[in-house]
Structure 1
Amino acid sequence: MPTFSHFQTPCPEAVNSQILQMVVDYLSDISAVALPPSNLLYNVYQYAIGYEVHLYLAALDGSKGIAVELLVATDDDDPEQVLGFALYLPVKDDPQACGVAYMAVRASHRRRGIARALLARVRERYPQVELACAVGKVAWFEALGFQVLGVRGPQVLMSTHDQASDGLMGVLDTAPIYRSLEVRQIHSYLLQKHGKRAMLDAEKQRDRHLDQLTRQAQALVSERLRLH
């Protein structure tokens, strides 16, 4: 079993860099946009999600005015190696609740109960855990005691309780990331490399993909709520 470490202050740079690498490598798996690598906009979203998680990790020092906590699983045999993490946000005015913003497990160590153990430890601290996930992961979370509450964009909102917390969760405004110079530079590079038509096609593919995910989420939520 891995070793679990809990952080409420900034963690070592070696841990940060491995978490950021995981986030970028597993974009399709953990991002709400969930773009496939074949989409030409993939690099834009890789940069954006990496930068967003970097900001959350930096917010552990309290400078952003939001509460952030981090749980990290490391390898017993190689304590320097991060096997998985859960980045979660305690809910203001509700000491029992938190929301998981990002969670990932290294591909080489999946199906070994690490994600399950991460969530169990988060629940020990906050009995009410909320998160949004892709339709394909709903059954897995249901098996862990999560319930479907509703739709959040292209994802399904789930909780360990049968209704959402009334408290507020401090989240970072990610819009400025997509307006940043770096994102514009990546976009310009892709435009030069692939041409305007190809980039417009990539945007249409992304929009169709998001519409499809949203419809799937709505259908699943309707079905689950009808069964209850």
Structure 2
Amino acid sequence: MPTLTHYNSPCPEAITSQILQLVVDNLTDISQVGLGPSNLLYNVYQYVIGYEVHLHLAALEGGAVELIVATDEDDPALVSGFLLYLPVKDDPEACGVAYMAVHARHRRQGIARGMLRQMRARYPQAELSCSVGKVGWFEALGFRVLGARGPQILMSTRDHSSDGLMATQDLAPIFASTEVRQIHTYLLQRHGKRAMIDAEKQRDRHLDQMTAKARTFIQQRLH
């Protein structure tokens, strides 16, 4: 069984770098946009989500973010999964899942289940949003469907959302950063303007489809 370690202060650099690599490797699965590698904007979202997680990890000391890391029992330096979550202000029993990923080689070993269980021992009311396809898995862990939030399904371990405030990261400054502009310029030079416009349209269609799917799911489930 993996070892689970809770962090509410900055973790070692070796742990941080492996977490960021897990984010990059699992972008399609953990991003709300859900873009696949075939979309030319994939590298942009890899950077943006990676940087968002980097900012969360840097904020561990302030109490607005907490982290659970799963490490290999035989090799404690090897990260097999992580769960990043945000305590809710004014509600000491509630938190929201920001990001979770498990290394491909360590899946189906109960790692995600164990991390979520440890989080819920600290915060009985846990909330998250996920794609329609993951609802059944989270329901099996005790989460309930509350409604749709854009392309995602909002779920909670209770039958209502917390009334407290949850800190969220504003991604607009990251998308407007010099680094993202440089990535976009490189992609534009390599693939051309028409291909980049097509990638944006493909992303928008994908989000519209996910949003419609989430809305239909909620209508069938809750009405």
TM range (shorter): over 0.9
The equivalent of 1:70 in structure 2 is 67
Structure 1 residue 61, shift from structure 2 partner: 2.4
Runs of 4+ in 1 over 2 A off after TM superposition: none
The equivalent of 2:84 in structure 1 is 87
TM-score (norm 2): 0.99
Structure 1 residue 156, shift from structure 2 partner: 0.5
Structure 1 residue 224, shift from structure 2 partner: 1.6
1: CA distance, partners of 2:64 / 2:149: 22
- Number of equivalences: 223
1: CA distance, partners of 2:150 / 2:21: 26
Structure 1 residue 152, shift from structure 2 partner: 1.4
1: CA distance, partners of 2:193 / 2:91: 48
Letter in 1 for 2:93: Q
Q: Alignment partner of 1:158: what SS? A: strand
Matches within 5 A, 1:111-122: 111-122=108-119
1:40 aligns with 2:37: no
1: CA distance, partners of 2:137 / 2:55: 29
Matches within 5 A, 1:146-225: 146-225=143-222
Letter in 1 for 2:138: F
1: CA distance, partners of 2:203 / 2:209: 10
CA-to-aligned-CA distance 1:155-209 (integer Å, 9 cap, x gap)? 1100000000000001121110000000000000000000000000000000000
Q: Structure 2 unaligned runs (5+)?
A: none
Q: Alignment partner of 2:126: what SS? A: strand
1:127 aligns with 2:127: no
1: CA distance, partners of 2:61 / 2:109: 32
TM-score (norm 1): 0.96
Across the aligned residues of Structure 1 and Structure 2, the Cα RMSD in angstroms comes to 0.7
Letter in 1 for 2:158: H
2: CA distance, partners of 1:219 / 1:13: 43
Q: Alignment partner of 1:119: what SS? A: helix
1: CA distance, partners of 2:38 / 2:59: 32
Q: Alignment partner of 1:214: what SS? A: helix
The equivalent of 1:100 in structure 2 is 97
CA-to-aligned-CA distance 1:8-50 (integer Å, 9 cap, x gap)? 0000001000000000110000000110100000000000010
2: CA distance, partners of 1:177 / 1:23: 16
Letter in 2 for 1:43: N
Letter in 2 for 1:131: L
The equivalent of 1:28 in structure 2 is 28
Structure 1 residue 150, shift from structure 2 partner: 1.0
Letter in 1 for 2:146: L
1:144 aligns with 2:141: yes
Over the matched positions of the two proteins, sequence identity in percent amounts to 72
Structure 1 residue 219, shift from structure 2 partner: 1.1
